[in-house]
A and B are shown apart, each in its own frame.
Chain A
Amino acid sequence: MSSLENATNPETLRRVVIEPVTRVEGHGKVTLLLDEDDHVQQARFHIVEFRGFEKFVQGRPYWEVPVMVQRLCGICPVSHHLAGGKAVDMLAGATELTPTADKMRRLLHFGQVLQSHALHFFHLSSPDLLFGFDAEVAKRNIFAVIEAFPDVARKGVLLRKYGQEVIRVTAGKRVHGTLVVPGGVNKHLCTEERDYLLQDIEQTVAWSREAVDLACRLYLAGGARHREFGSFCSPVLSLVRQDGAMELYHGRLRAKDEDGAAIFDQVDYARYWDYLREVVKPWSYMKFPFIRSRGTEHGWYRVGPLARLANCDFIPTPLAEAQRQAFLAHDGGSARHSTLAGHWARMIELLHAAEAIRELLADPDLLAGELVVKGERQYRGVGVIEAPRGTLIHHYRINDDDQVVRCNLIVSTTHNNQAMNEAVRQVARQHLDGRKITEPLLNYIEVAIRAFDPCLSCATHALGKMPLEVELLDAAGDHVDRLVRDSDGAVRAT
């Protein structure tokens, strides 16, 4: 290979500009259906779901699952690693992990929650709240935040970095690291690693407190507009601890209705299908889960930070719990149903994660103790965690040769499928004026989608740059209008 300078016939070479490096595998699509009076009757948010994973994992030995599932998603590989690992624990017959294994996994998980929540709020959603939905496009991104609020942006970058460092130290590597093995973990923390993480933990907790204050202040500053934006009442679902505490790693399923009354509680997630079912709709690749006792029409629910705050009885770390109480006390608890209050809830969880990491780093079980337990092999394994975006279910069946023969994943975005559709519908109802899709409406829809930050399709890294298309159909199903936001931010009518 020669350099250009040495090319034999440089004048014969073509100069080619390659467009942004991106895999155009699809796009986010919102279809708004009008009724005969031109009111938005239905919003359909189409998302590509995991496809091909079942084939990917089929025939592989079950102990490979915790590593393989990390390849599903570049944003939350740790969540899949942990949920898949818990399912594999069950397959291996490991019913109760050692204290060291349990705490190492929790440390990894809280690192993931911290970095994911920091990414979501500081880099994705804060521009919406800092500058308002009507701000020009150039302002609605992290760069504008950095310019206008450099301290906020810098802390956001460093908070995320700290979470990434917890993951690197705990899983051994920054990317594709492994901690979980069937029945436990493969390492302790050494003293140097613990001390390294301790160096910045107080700063991390302090900045997390500031993040809660900022998210709260920004949400409240928007008054009724923020409160009502894309908001709806719905049941909520999450894991909780046996005493009702918020539980992100290992607990039992609880669902509450719109008024906060229990639909079910302390359900063993190993039989989640007795309580949760999925229905397929012809217009979407993604299934729609529902609470079985409430049926397909009324059984949809919300998962994620907002749902977890509403669902638990308390948060088991003091600073975050004080913030949760303030959250619920505000305006008679209206924030529980407010889509944009999800950002406030997310930052309360960020603070909880920081506090929990601080507690864990003081625990000697991280430094010594048994790593793995063994048990009697089973044919079915189910693992559930509360991932940053919500409840994540991994379910596997294996054969006599220890090979995976069936798997089912219900990811947070799937749980929130109908909820996201509902938020988009509310926004469209509030802001669709006539039969033309305007740029502000397109942005409002994006703001609502960002509040959930769905995994539009895990595992190919550039999919996040896919364009968003909003289409308007009349009661007869005929095309009325269409607007597309390209991956470079440009808007075009088609």
Chain B
Amino acid sequence: MSRVLVLGWGNPSRGDDALGPELVRRLEALATDRPGWRGHGFLTDFQLQPEHALDLEERDLLLFADAAVSASVPYSFSRLQAERDGTFTSHAMSPSAVLAVYRQVFGREPPDAYLLAIRGEAFELGAPMSAAAKRRLEAALALAVELLDAPDVVHRLVGPTRVA
């Protein structure tokens, strides 16, 4: 079976920013009872950085998970392409940019990659995750479980926004 890496990022102490890491934490907990998930990997971080490209090695499929502030839907699931981005600080990279670093460093195409973007609204330091974000997390979690159960048919999951 395909080996999936789930990489969720965000600050766990900034309200809905915790959506990405929390999704990963929940999946990791489920993995203990799912022998079929043994080949999958789970990773969280505050933000994406260039060296995350090295974590993508020896994976067949990548699932990036993050909170989305600009989303008008509960969550979305879409395919990612390797793509450059530009910024004037060192403080963040997009998942597409991490894929681009992978391609450049290893000289080959990165594994297939997907973004699970879960809508969040409240990002204050010290705030708990909002009730609405928790509901969206549950729905997004179901999709992620579906993916980890059958990563070879991930294409079925891509497309229109799902309603949580």
Contacts and interface: CB of A to CB of B under 8 A. Distances in A.
Q: Which of B50, B105, B157 has the most chain A CB within a 10 Å cutoff?
A: B50
Interface in B103-144: 104-105, 115, 117, 123-126, 139, 142-143
Main secondary structure of the interface of B (DSSP, over half): loop
A141 B67 contact: no
A182 interface: no
B76 A468 contact: no
A55 B87 CA distance: 31
B126 A4 contact: no
A14 B158 CA distance: 13
Interface in A1-22: 1, 3-5, 7, 10, 13-22
Interface string A454-482: 11100111111100100000000000000
A1 B11 CA distance: 27
Nearest to B54: A161
Contacts of B22: none
Q: Which of A455, A459, A462 has the most chain B CB within a 10 Å cutoff?
A: A462
A489 interface: yes
Interface in A68-104: 68, 71-75, 77
A123 B87 CA distance: 10
Contacts of A468: 88
A193 B100 CA distance: 32
Nearest to B107: A150
B74 to A, nearest CB: 10
B1 interface: no
Nearest to A453: B90
A461 B92 contact: yes
A120 B91 CA distance: 10
A140 B86 CA distance: 8
Contact of B126 (A55, A119, A143, A463): A55
Nearest to B70: A19
Contacts of A4: 156-160, 162
Interface string A359-392: 0000000000000000000000000000000000
Contacts of A485: 88
Q: Which of A51, A123, A143, A463 has the most chain B CB within a 10 Å cutoff?
A: A143
B73 A75 contact: no
A137 interface: yes
A142 interface: yes
B13 interface: yes
Interface in A263-283: none
Given A24-B70, A74-B47, A446 B11 contact: no
B9 interface: yes
Interface residues of A, number: 76
Contacts of A153: 104-105
Contact of A25 (B53, B91, B101, B123): B123
Contact of A74 (B43, B46, B126, B163): B46
B51 interface: yes
Contact of A56 (B73, B125, B146): B125
Contacts of A141: 84-86
Nearest to B68: A21
Contact of B76 (A18, A143, A147): A18
A146 B98 CA distance: 13
Given A23-B17, A146-B104, A488 B90 contact: no
B161 interface: yes
A53 interface: yes
Given A25-B123, A137-B86, A160-B50, A15 B160 contact: yes
A435 interface: no
Given A1-B142, A160-B51, A74 B45 contact: yes
A219 B9 CA distance: 35
B33 to A, nearest CB: 19
A28 B88 contact: yes
Given A15-B161, A142-B101, A446 B69 contact: no
Contacts of B30: none
A410 interface: no
Q: Which of B14, B85, B91 has the most chain A CB within a 10 Å cutoff?
A: B91
